[in-house]
Amino acid sequence: MDRGWGFLIGLLGAVWLLSSGHGEQQPPETAAQRCFCQVSGYLDDCTCDVETIDRFNNYRLFPRLQKLLESDYFRYYKVNLKRPCPFWNDISQCGRRDCAVKPCQSDEVPDGIKSASYKYSEEANNLIEECEQAERLGAVDESLSEETQKAVLQWTKHDDSSDNFCEADDIQSPDAEYVDLLLNPERYTGYKGPDAWKIWNVIYEENCFKPQTIKRPLNPLASGQENTFYSWLEGLCVEKRAFYRLISGLHASINVHLSARYLLQDTWLEKKWGHNITEFQQRFDGILTEGEGPRRLKNLYFLYLIELRALSKVLPFFERPDFQLFTGNKIQDEENKMLLLEILHEIKSFPLHFDENSFFAGDKKEAHKLKEDFRLHFRNISRIMDCVGCFKCRLWGKLQTQGLGTALKILFSEKLIANMPESGPSYEFHLTRQEIVSLFNAFGRISTSVKELENFRNLLQSIH
């Protein structure tokens, strides 16, 4: 583990409040002000401000990123939606049509994607597979019994996953299927109530770090807890506070998506999806949420900066000449790699990235333990996604947690990335196709949320 973990510098600062006016009667706050009055200026502990993020994302990054995600390489995601919940058995499956996921037929997925399980070209895939197999078999003493040899290989597999932050699906399982993300968009499905609340409650209560002296719920959805947000955060070190803000930011981003693609009309003739201002206000309005909503939005920006930083760090991996976004269509693959590198260079140019030097920089033994706790907590959250009763929500929950987990893996691997060979397979650091697809689609979801916030600002301002 290296010290290159600057990503977690989160949320410093100055909460921007409306001025009191010193005796003058101020006009009533508009709906837009109640949602966004605190979501401006500098983010806490960051040198970056919200306005810079908005301009960079909405006008320089978002259009190109959406084009990339519409390409074949990124639209097909292999996932096992039939894995049992590892924590409880009483899952109520959502029976609504909008909760269903339509998997791809075999002939709908490009052959190059089905045949290439790694991240290089077909030739490089074959080479790396042969090398890895020879390396692993060579490492096992053939004088050992067959049972012991299998155990050693299992240990190797465990070591390979020791830097992963997610409980990844076994994509070789018969239950794993390709899903076209463009045909199964993330939007409001009607999945809510006790079952949905239970998922988030377990995530916040059992997997976010909590001061031993704090007994009350950490779940911001719990009744009467809105004003305790910073009071219990003050009892945590900055890394653990950042962990909570990551989860809160992901939660906020998902809620923005559901509010922006809400089922507004459902008749036998058509379904109409669009922005539901009331739903957005219920989740983010400063008054309706007792001050919690704007903080959730600030955590969304915090999450954006973390994943942005990870993408800036992983550029050398994708710049290597033998890396391809391999689908079998050579011309499109080359064009998409060029677009990918343009996006990553644009991200690299962002002027207000995190300072990299202040996290996990204390006692070496304690820092290592904190990193491992961080990894295991997030890994557990990825397993909870198999308990979501709505299959479309489960699909996007698994993809976004895997994407964030991949970003964390990148930020923990700065030195490994720096030491990669200029060409040929990288054994010290590599990303599978699943990790690449989830990384960019997860960031695409957050980028979309930031763009949708601009849309909601305009809609809220127009109703007054």
Q: Which residues are bridge partners to 42 per DSSP? A: 49
Q: How far does the chain reach from its first CA to its final CA, in angstroms?
A: 53
The response to whether 64 counts as a known ligand-binding position is: no
Which entry of 99, 208, 387, 393 is annotated as an active-site residue? 393
The response to whether 16 counts as a known ligand-binding position is: no
On the CB side of 227, CA atoms within 13 Å amount to: 4
Helix 62-69 and helix 330-348: axis angle, to 10°?
150
The response to whether 106 counts as a known ligand-binding position is: no
CA geometry: angle at 177 spanning 176 and 183, to 5°?
145
| 390 is a catalytic site residue | yes
Which entry of 46, 48, 94, 390 is annotated as an active-site residue? 390
The response to whether 457 counts as a known ligand-binding position is: no
Q: Rounded distance, CA 121 to CA 96, Å?
A: 41
The response to whether 197 counts as a known ligand-binding position is: no
Backbone angles phi, psi at 441, to 5 degrees: -70, -35
Strand, helix or coil at 214? coil
DSSP line for 143-174:
TS-HHHHHHHHHHHHHHHTTT--S----TTST
Spatial CB neighbours of 150, under 8 Å, sequence gap ≥ 6? none
Q: Kind and range of the H or E element at 91?
A: none
The response to whether 3 counts as a known ligand-binding position is: no
**Catalytic (active-site) positions:** 390, 393
Q: Which residues are annotated as a binding site for FAD?
A: 187, 189, 200, 248, 251, 283
Q: Which residues are annotated as a binding site?
A: 187, 189, 200, 248, 251, 283
